[in-house]
Amino acid sequence: MFKQFSFAILTLALAVVMTSCQSGSTPAQDEAREAVTTAPAPTNAQPAPTVAVPQGPTTAMEFSESTFDFGTVTEGEVVSHTFSFTNTGSEPLIISDAKGSCGCTVPSKPTAPIAPGEAGEITVNFNSKNKSGARNQKVTVTANTNPAQTFIYLTGNVEKDPAAATQK
């Protein structure tokens, strides 16, 4: 009887140990968990670009217009517009960058500092080749202002060239 009792206790203890060690997950779940926890970080991951707060004194700029509507043009035409601005601050205005929202929008910025109270210009060229429909082209102007970025826009509509459509 002692042997049977010992065997029952041993079997019960073994059953408790075996069930307590199970995690309750399937092999597929274990494999998925391992893949997630051991996956290497992507090598091409780059942090989102941030605009640095200007160092030193800041100034202010004011555009006479922030949006130019070029109306309707035919695909392939180049639209050019000059945006005028004034340095309304008390420090020289230094425009460090002017970038279009895509390669079809190309701004040209002044390279010399703009003195307080003086005016400057940024000319923006938009090439409508292979563009059609409503357009809203953004130019980001970065300068020693607070905030550091100011936005100007070219808007309008680009219609497909009917002559080009019939030649195909």
pLDDT tens-place string over residues 69-101: 999 999 999 999 999 999 999 999 999 999 999
Lowest mean pLDDT across 50-54, 118-122, 132-136: 50-54
Identify the residue whose tokens are 């217009």: 65
User: Mean pLDDT throughout 141-150?
Assistant: 96
The whole-angstrom distance between residue 118's C-alpha and the CA centroid of its chain comes to 32
User: Rounded CA gap, 95 and 141, in Å?
Assistant: 7
What is the CATH architecture of 61-161?
Sandwich (2.60)
Q: Nearest 5 degrees, angle CA 106-CA 96-CA 68?
A: 40
Sheet strands (E) in 26-66: 61-63
Res 168: pLDDT: 54
User: Mean pLDDT throughout 90-115?
Assistant: 96
Q: Where are the alpha helices (DSSP H) in the chain?
A: 2-21, 27-38, 162-167
The whole-angstrom distance between residue 158's C-alpha and the CA centroid of its chain comes to 25
Contacts of 23 (CB under 8 A, 6+ apart): 30
Res 37: pLDDT: 44
The whole-angstrom distance between residue 165's C-alpha and the CA centroid of its chain comes to 34
pLDDT tens track for 34-61 = 544 444 455 554 554 555 555 678 999 9
Residue 20 scores a pLDDT above 70: no
Amino acid at 136: N
Give the closest residue to 91 by CA, choosing from 51, 54, 60, 55. Answer: 60
- Give the pair of three-digit tokens for residue 137: 């082209």
DSSP 8-state class, residue 156: E
Share of the chain above pLDDT 90, in %: 61
Look at 39 and 159; give whichever has higher pLDDT: 159
Dihedral Cα 9, 10, 14, 16, nearest 10 deg: 10
Instruction: Give me the residue spans of the domains in the chain.
Output: 61-161
Q: Looking at the whole model, is its pTM more than 0.75?
A: no
